[in-house]
């Protein structure tokens, strides 16, 4: 008899655990809807805190545009613009209208727009946009590590290997060649760009020594333009637009205060 009672109690406990797991919030809101993959956030005192913006691979205010053969691993968020500004995604709605799915967003990743009425999507997006803007301001307020990390290459980064630190440019930055970042898995890079950020086609940001994309932050006040067939690494905090060319890729996040436009590109959360 005792074994029967214990078995029943164990069964009830397991059912309750499954129920609570399925009904709980994901930590960034969207209770009962469930965000898809959110990747890993930077850890440590030197990190730029992303808050709930870290729930998204792409987050923008005015639009997220793509072409049909792009591929995103992670969630996409758009606010305050509505779903009509999620263009090129072949959106598939779910019955409660809390989110969309798309063949271009790897499951369980989802797309969210401010006019999704199901769950807590609208409130979650508002909070995430606020977190994105706070992160931008935080990064912009960092002090350059030294004179050696100020205006490196006068804004043209040609065949460089950069060690961890806070880098600052009072101009636009152009990356015409491969760029290497050398550091450990715990090291942090913050790049502050007062103008635009441009990277040439068919080039790469290369990480060595254990460096991690989640620990790299690009704070850019102007437009970001990444060339076709180029691979990029890190979290881009942009005050304006971001454009990724055909077959370009990034391991990181695109967090834009205006629009994100990607060609047949690949975006993967770190």
**Averaged pLDDT, 99-119:** 97
Alpha-carbon distance of 138 to 32, in angstroms, equals 32
- Cross-strand partners of 226: 199, 244
Residue 150 DSSP symbol? B
Instruction: Enter the tokens of residue 64.
Output: 């997220």
pLDDT at 204: 98
CA angle 148, 151, 152 (to 5 degrees): 60
pLDDT at 68: 84
For 94-129, letters b (16+ CB in 10 Å) and e give eeeebbbbbebbbeebbbbbbbbebbbbbebbebbb
pLDDT digits (tens, 9 = 90+) for 56-101: 999 999 999 999 889 999 999 999 999 999 999 999 999 999 999 9
The more confident residue out of 9 and 89 is 89
pLDDT at 34: 72
**Averaged pLDDT, 22-46:** 65
pLDDT at 11: 41
Q: Is the pLDDT of residue 39 over 80?
A: yes
Task: Give the model's confidence band at 264: pLDDT under 50 very low, under 70 low, under 90 confident, else very high.
Answer: very high
For 226-253, letters b (16+ CB in 10 Å) and e give bbebbbbbbbbbbbebbbbbebbbbbbb
For 138-174, letters b (16+ CB in 10 Å) and e give bbbebebeeeebeebeebebeeeebebbbbbbeebbb
Q: Can you give the residue ranges of every domain in the chain?
A: 51-268
Exposure of 243 in the CB half-sphere (CA atoms within 13 A): 13
Q: Is the pLDDT of residue 2 over 50?
A: no
**Hunting for tokens 């006019």 — which residue is that?**
115
Percent of the chain at pLDDT above 90?
85
Q: Is 266 exposed, middle or buried, given 0-12, 13-18 or 19+ CB atoms closer than 10 A? A: middle
Q: Is the pLDDT of residue 15 over 70?
A: no
Percent of the chain at pLDDT above 70?
88
Q: Is the pLDDT of residue 114 over 70?
A: yes
Task: Give the model's confidence band at 20: pLDDT under 50 very low, under 70 low, under 90 confident, else very high.
Answer: very low
Tell me the pairing of strands 197-199 and 173-175: parallel
Listing DSSP states for 176-225 in one string gives -S-EEEE--TT--EEEEESS-EEE-TT-BEEEETT--GGGEEEEESS-EE
Indicate the SS3 state at residue 93.
strand
Instruction: Enter the tokens of residue 18.
Output: 């499954």
**Averaged pLDDT, 10-23:** 35
Q: Is the pLDDT of residue 106 over 90?
A: yes
Q: Is the pLDDT of residue 19 over 70?
A: no
| Residue 253 host element (H or E) | strand 249-256
pLDDT at 33: 54
Task: Give the model's confidence band at 232: pLDDT under 50 very low, under 70 low, under 90 confident, else very high.
Answer: very high
pLDDT at 44: 86
Indicate the SS3 state at residue 158.
coil
Instruction: Quote the mean pLDDT of the chain.
Output: 90
């Amino acid at each position: 008899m005792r074994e029967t009672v214990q078995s029943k109690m164990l069964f009830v406990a397991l059912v309750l655990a499954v129920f609570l797991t399925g009904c709980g919030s994901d930590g960034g809101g969207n209770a009962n809807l469930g965000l898809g993959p959110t990747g890993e956030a930077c850890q440590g005192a030197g990190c730029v805190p992303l808050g709930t913006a870290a729930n998204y691979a792409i987050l923008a205010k005015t639009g997220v545009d793509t072409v049909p053969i792009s591929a995103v691993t992670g969630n996409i968020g758009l606010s305050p613009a509505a779903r009509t500004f999620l263009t090129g995604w072949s959106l598939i709605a779910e019955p409660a209208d809390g989110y969309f799915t798309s063949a271009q967003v790897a499951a369980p990743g989802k797309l969210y727009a401010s006019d999704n009425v199901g769950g807590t999507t609208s409130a979650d997006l508002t909070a995430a946009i606020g977190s994105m803007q706070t992160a931008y301001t935080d990064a912009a307020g960092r002090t350059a590590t030294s004179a050696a990390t100020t205006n490196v290459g006068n804004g043209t980064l040609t065949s460089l290997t950069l060690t961890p630190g806070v880098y600052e440019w009072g101009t636009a930055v152009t990356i015409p060649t491969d760029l290497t970042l050398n550091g450990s898995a715990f090291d942090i890079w913050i790049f502050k760009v007062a103008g635009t950020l441009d990277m040439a086609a068919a080039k790469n940001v290369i990480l060595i020594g254990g460096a991690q994309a989640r620990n790299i932050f690009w704070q850019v006040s102007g437009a970001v333009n990444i060339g076709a067939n180029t691979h990029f690494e890190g979290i881009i905090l942009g005050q304006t637009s971001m454009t990724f060319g055909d077959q370009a890729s990034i391991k990181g996040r695109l967090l834009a205060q205006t629009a994100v436009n990607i060609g047949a590109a690949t975006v993967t959360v770190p």
